[in-house]
Amino acid sequence: MDRIAQMPCAIGQALGEDHGPVEVHHIRQGQGMSQRASHWLTVPLCPACHRGRLGVHGDRTLLRMARLGELDLLALTIEEVVRG
């Protein structure tokens, strides 16, 4: 997860913007409400995209603006990790 925390915000990247420092978001898709996803299923998100009103834990407007779902963010993150 340390490597993920050093990456740029996945939604910001998709929107062509620099959103600054990030937090690590655990993918919730396919998980029950009380279950925490694996540390392998994480993506970097800035605080606004992660916990903000329009973010992943808010009304998800930023995901819709980027035309992405959580699995899309995971795919972008994996691609970035593989590229190094």
Count of alpha carbons within 13 angstroms of residue 60, beta-carbon side: 8
User: What confidence tens digit (pLDDT) does each residue in 3-23 have?
Assistant: 999 999 999 999 999 999 999
User: What confidence tens digit (pLDDT) does each residue in 35-60 have?
Assistant: 667 888 999 999 999 999 999 999 99
pLDDT surpasses 90 at 30: no
Which distant-in-sequence residues (6+ apart) come within 8 Å of 68 by Cβ? Answer: 11, 14, 76
| Alpha-carbon span 60 to 52, nearest angstrom | 9
- Amino acid at site 39: H
Reading the block at residue 30, the tokens are 């396919």
- From 56, 58, 32, select the one nearest 44 (Cα to Cα): 56
Domain boundaries, the chain: 2-83
